[in-house]
Amino acid sequence: MVLAQRAGVDRPVFHVISVSQDSAGIFLMQTRWPDGQAIYEAIAREVDAFPKDHYTTCVALLPEVVDQIIRAAREEQPVASVLAEERL
């Protein structure tokens, strides 16, 4: 929600659900059109591993990508920058 609000979507609406029975499974993120495109673009700017196809309302995510989204929302700087700093 924070990432989308930073991008100018006042009241972002989206859902993330697990479609697996274990914690290492797949998650689905679903949005509504037309805000979905802006939400996905905002997340993709901050999370390198996020899918770059913004013309959908549903994307499948691996747990690592969900973790990166959470970290990006908690951080002041983009996850890509945080990950680059961790490698140094």
Phi, psi (deg, nearest 5) at residue 61: -130, 140
- Position 85 scores a pLDDT of 47
With 70 as the cut, is the pLDDT of residue 31 above it? yes
- Position 76 scores a pLDDT of 62
Domain coordinates of the chain in residue numbers? 2-87
- Position 16 scores a pLDDT of 85
Q: Is the dihedral of CA 38, 41, 43, 49 positive or negative?
A: positive
Structure confidence by residue, pLDDT tens digits, 32-74 = 887 888 888 888 888 888 988 778 888 889 889 989 988 888 8
